């Protein structure tokens, strides 16, 4: 089993994901928001790349989504860390309380995260992960028994410390399988080991963390930095992300 890490969504085309297990990280904040919403009873999340796509999907008759569980389709997203004008919901995991999401769906568009998810389409399975469910995601990925590609959404097409950190924690959990590590995976592992005692320090060291702090979003950072809060992962399939155990 080979494990490698892609530093930013932009670099996905350099890698052949065919027949591999992909895991997508956009820890601040898309994949942490997805995980939190599913934990709080959201039935499914539709990640889309553009604002227009989000609007048109949310406007579709609800029964197209799920006859058995009609639910409401909530329109959510951000650009540059801030809410999209006229979108009722943003990209803060703390917005998605049980009161808001139980029995409902989300259509989510974010700067980097949703692009990374759609870019991973050729992989056999696409899991969605963060600090919140690093261990559960590692277990699910390990069970597939295939090579694993950990895809960091990155920030502005570049290496992001918090995504790499979360990838490193997933790799740490996979070490017992004696995998073969690409240098990118060894690097991510060393970064996770460096911050293991206090992972939130990496978030304060990161440029995107510093930006969210300036926007007054420290509670979001604290939430997204929590390690292994949940015992499930989620999976993207046929355009939708659902809870996966």
202: tokens are: 């990496």
Is 29 in contact with 224 (CB distance < 8 Å)? yes
Which among 73, 151, 163, 82 is positioned nearest to 117, based on CA atoms?
151
Pairing of strands 21-25, 148-152: parallel
Alpha helices in the chain (DSSP H): 30-39, 51-58, 98-101, 113-119, 134-144, 161-174, 183-195, 200-205, 207-214, 218-224
Binding span for a copy of itself by CB under 8 A among 40-48, 150-158, 223-231, 237-245: 150-158
Choose, by CB under 8 A, the member of 108, 191, 217, 243 that binds a copy of itself. Answer: 191
Least distance from a copy of itself to the Cβ atom of residue 194, Å: 4
Which among 148, 122, 119, 132 is positioned nearest to 21, based on CA atoms?
148
Choose, by CB under 8 A, the member of 33, 112, 155, 234 that binds a copy of itself. Answer: 155
Per-residue binding letters, 108-147, with a copy of itself (x by CB under 8 A) = ----------------------------------------
Residue 186 within binding range of a copy of itself, rule CB under 8 A? yes
Residue 204 within binding range of a copy of itself, rule CB under 8 A? no
Cβ proximity to a copy of itself, 108 vs 134, nearer residue: 134
Cβ proximity to a copy of itself, 69 vs 158, nearer residue: 158
Least distance from a copy of itself to the Cβ atom of residue 161, Å: 4
Is 174 in contact with 141 (CB distance < 8 Å)? yes
User: Residue 197's CB: how many other CB atoms inside 10 A?
Assistant: 7
Residue 193 within binding range of a copy of itself, rule CB under 8 A? yes
Distance CA 91, CA 108 (A): 8
Residue 31 within binding range of a copy of itself, rule CB under 8 A? no
The residues that touch a copy of itself, with contacts defined as CB under 8 A, are 4-5, 7, 10-11, 14, 155, 157-161, 164, 181-184, 186-187, 190-191, 193-195, 205-208
């Amino acid at each position: 089993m080979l494990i490698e890490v892609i530093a930013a969504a932009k670099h996905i085309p350099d890698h052949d994901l065919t027949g591999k297990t992909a895991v997508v990280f956009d820890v601040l904040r898309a994949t942490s928001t997805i995980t939190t919403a599913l934990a709080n009873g959201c039935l499914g999340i539709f990640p889309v790349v553009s604002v227009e796509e989000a609007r048109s999907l949310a406007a579709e008759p609800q029964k197209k989504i799920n006859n058995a569980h009609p639910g409401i389709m909530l329109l959510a997203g951000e650009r540059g860390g801030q809410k999209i004008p006229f979108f009722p919901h943003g990209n803060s995991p703390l917005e998605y309380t049980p009161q808001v999401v139980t029995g409902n769906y989300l259509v989510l568009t974010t700067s980097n995260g949703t692009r990374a998810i759609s870019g991973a389409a050729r992989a056999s399975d696409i899991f969605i992960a963060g600090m919140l469910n690093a261990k559960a995601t590692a277990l699910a990925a390990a069970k597939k028994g295939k090579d694993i590609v950990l895809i960091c959404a990155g920030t502005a097409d570049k290496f992001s410390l918090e995504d790499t950190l979360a990838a490193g924690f997933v790799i740490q959990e996979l070490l017992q399988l004696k995998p073969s590590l690409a240098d990118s995976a060894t690097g991510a592992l060393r970064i996770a080991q460096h911050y293991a005692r206090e992972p939130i320090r990496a978030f304060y060291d990161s440029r995107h963390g510093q930006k969210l702090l300036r926007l007054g979003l420290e509670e979001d950072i604290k939430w997204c930095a929590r390690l292994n809060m949940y015992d499930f992962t989620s999976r993207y399939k046929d355009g939708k992300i659902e809870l996966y155990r």
